[in-house]
Amino acid sequence: MRARNSFVGAAFALLAAGMGHSALADDIKIGEINSYSLLPSFTEPYRKGWQLAVEEINAAGGINGKKLVVISKDDGGKPADAQTAANELVSSEGVAMLTGTFLSNIGLAVSDFANQKKVFFLAAEPLTDAVTWAKGNKYTFRLRPSNYMQAAMLVEAASKLPAKRWATIAPNYEYGQSAVAVFKKLMSEKRPDIQWVDEQWPPQGKIDAGPVVQAVAQANPEAILNVTFGPDLVKLVREGNTRGLFKGREVVSFLTGEPEYLDPLKEETPEGWIVTGYPWYSIKTPEHDAFLKAYQAKYNDYPRLGSIVGYQTIKAAAAIIAKAGSTDTDKMIAAAEGISMPSPFGEITFRKIDHQSTLGAFVGKTAQKDGKGVMVDTSYKKGSDYLPSDAEVEKLRPKD
């Protein structure tokens, strides 16, 4: 009897040891969704960024000793496809959390899925304020500085311009609508004398630049707010240059200083636009130097802003899971609220009140150098300096 008990005990001990080893050996899987086929100029550098982060994390021992695996899906720029991808990642792949998305309407669709299914979602790129405020929820966090934050940074410079008559050009979907609304609000608060004389709302990715430029010129503004990006920006700049739209007019422009949007303009780059962007060639900090060196060594290419966003998204996801010591959703949420971590732009924090990170952006002016567009007169704006007070956020965000 004693021998039998010893055998059974030994068997249980081996089983327990085997289960423990298996649990330790399990990978931590993160689901990643983005519009790779629709917006490769941003999403390909973004993919390189997160792949570099995965490599670094695993080379350093993984997350609490477990290997990190990212399972990536393409949403094709369609909110419904993004939700389908999210469902497959959660139900079939068993991911610990969801990350990614680019377009604001897609970010909101995945955020809604996360809220319904009680899944942690770290939004990488979507900029609409609704992600963390009007449609914010317990399960959704965001890395990039929001429209409000970038608008506040731009308004700081734009409000000092003498121009009183302003026109706006923006893509007619969630991101463009949100950016224009918050810029106008913040600008009008600082400059009550401003007149908004025209608004143009071309469809995203399908701008007919001729009529847009003509309509703005007829309104005769002294300054223009631009929110177009990608191929739409190239078409707008080309047509605007041809017709002289920008001569003698100030232009303030979201995102235009990001290499993925500035580089294609080449010798057509307009000079003197006030922009947010990423002047990777002029940032001299130890954190950015380390990132730049690692990125160039791996890819033999310079980073775009997408590279930073992809890299920091996965670094943030890993830091949250490591702090939680678990992939339990509630534990990850508790770990993420208020967490601070390093980034290529310096230390950032995910705020408890609205789940917005304090990652900042660079503001400067466009210029040409050797037939290429660059940012000059740049300064880094910390995200924490361009967010509303807690009392204001409580009015903007629904209670969880």
Q: What is the pLDDT of residue 23?
A: 34
Q: What is the pLDDT of residue 26?
A: 85
Q: What is the pLDDT of residue 163?
A: 98
Residue partners of 391: CB distance under 8 A and separation at least 6: none
364 sits in which H/E element: strand 361-369
Q: What percent of the chain has pLDDT over 90?
A: 92
pTM of the model: 0.92
Is residue 141 predicted with pLDDT exceeding 50? yes
Is residue 9 predicted with pLDDT exceeding 90? no
Q: What is the pLDDT of residue 11?
A: 38
Kindly report, residue by residue over 273-305, the tens digit of the pLDDT. 999 999 999 999 999 999 999 999 999 999 999
Is residue 55 predicted with pLDDT exceeding 70? yes
Kindly report, residue by residue over 81-106, the tens digit of the pLDDT. 999 999 999 999 999 999 999 999 99
SS (H, E, C) 234-266: HHHHHHHHHHCCCCCCEEEEEEEECHHHHHHHH
Instruction: Write b or e for each residue in 198-212: b if 16 or more Cβ atoms lie within 10 A of its Cβ, otherwise e.
Output: bbbbbebeebebeeb
d(CA 394, CA 397) in angstroms, rounded, equals: 5
Q: Among 275, 285, 294, 341, which Cα is nearest to 313's? A: 341
Kindly report, residue by residue over 205-252, the tens digit of the pLDDT. 999 999 999 999 999 999 999 999 999 999 999 999 999 999 999 999
d(CA 313, CA 144) in angstroms, rounded, equals: 9
The separation between CA 370 and the C-alpha centre of its own chain, rounded to angstroms, equals: 30
Structural domains in the chain plus CATH codes: 23-146+284-360 (3.40.50.2300), 148-280+362-386 (3.40.50.2300)
Residue partners of 193: CB distance under 8 A and separation at least 6: 164
d(CA 319, CA 304) in angstroms, rounded, equals: 23
d(CA 102, CA 123) in angstroms, rounded, equals: 8
Mean per-residue pLDDT over the chain, rounded: 93
pLDDT average, residue stretch 381-391: 96
Is residue 4 predicted with pLDDT exceeding 60? no
Kindly report, residue by residue over 354-368, the tens digit of the pLDDT. 999 999 999 999 999
- What is each CA distance from 15 to 1, 6, 10, in whole angstroms? 21, 14, 9
346 sits in which H/E element: none
pLDDT average, residue stretch 145-169: 98
Q: What is the pLDDT of residue 399?
A: 81
Strands 372-381 and 361-369: antiparallel
Is residue 343 predicted with pLDDT exceeding 50? yes
d(CA 357, CA 379) in angstroms, rounded, equals: 19
Q: What is the pLDDT of residue 334?
A: 98
d(CA 93, CA 139) in angstroms, rounded, equals: 19
Is residue 203 predicted with pLDDT exceeding 80? yes
